[in-house]
Amino acid sequence: MMFGVEPRTTADKPTWLDYLLMFGAPIAFVVVLVVGVATIVGPAPSPTPVGLIKQGVIRNGMSVVEVESRLGPPKGREDKPDGGFAFQYQGATPEPWVLEDGYVDFNSDGYVIGTTVERITVRPPGEDR
């Protein structure tokens, strides 16, 4: 007898404590793992306006008010010779030195007629032109 506890034999049935450890420990491990990773990583970032344009959130026929409610205020506005105009939205990419510009084109009545996304490579600082 060691420390006042009799050794168990293989014929003994598992107790409630054995079951608690067999099932509770792995469940507790998974819960702690998920909560820990979620705490470290944080919530998913909200999509950028350019990302929403690429996803097809903006459709032909939408009004200026609808576009601004989904994408927010534009970074710029370009007037076109035919009376239409385009909203410009800017966004970063995961790639270094690459930006994306998204354009939402409107007709003269203020309804969407198309969208465009351009990728722009920016020179790193100090690089010769």
Q: What is the 3-state secondary structure (H, E, C) of the chain?
A: CECCECCCCCCCCCCHHHHHHHHHHHHHHHHHHHHHHHHHHCCCCCCCHHHHHHHCCCCCCCEHHHHHHHHCCCCEEEECCCCCEEEEEEEECCCCCEEEEEEEEECCCCEEEEEEEEEEECCCCCCCC
Domain boundaries, the chain: 49-121
Give backbone dihedrals phi and psi of 10, rounded to 5 degrees, phi first. -65, -15
CATH of 49-121 given 3.65.10.10, 3.40.50.2300, 3.30.1450.10, 1.10.10.410: 3.30.1450.10
Give backbone dihedrals phi and psi of 73, rounded to 5 degrees, phi first. -70, 145
Instruction: State pTM to two decimals.
Output: 0.64
Q: What is the pLDDT of residues 60-109, one digit of tens each?
A: 999 999 999 999 999 999 999 999 999 999 988 888 888 899 999 999 99
Tell me how far CA of residue 115 lies from CA of 45, 74, 82, 92, 118, in angstroms. 23, 13, 17, 18, 10
Give backbone dihedrals phi and psi of 45, rounded to 5 degrees, phi first. -70, 150
Predicted local confidence at residue 2, as pLDDT: 58
For the chain, percent of residues with pLDDT exceeding 70:
91
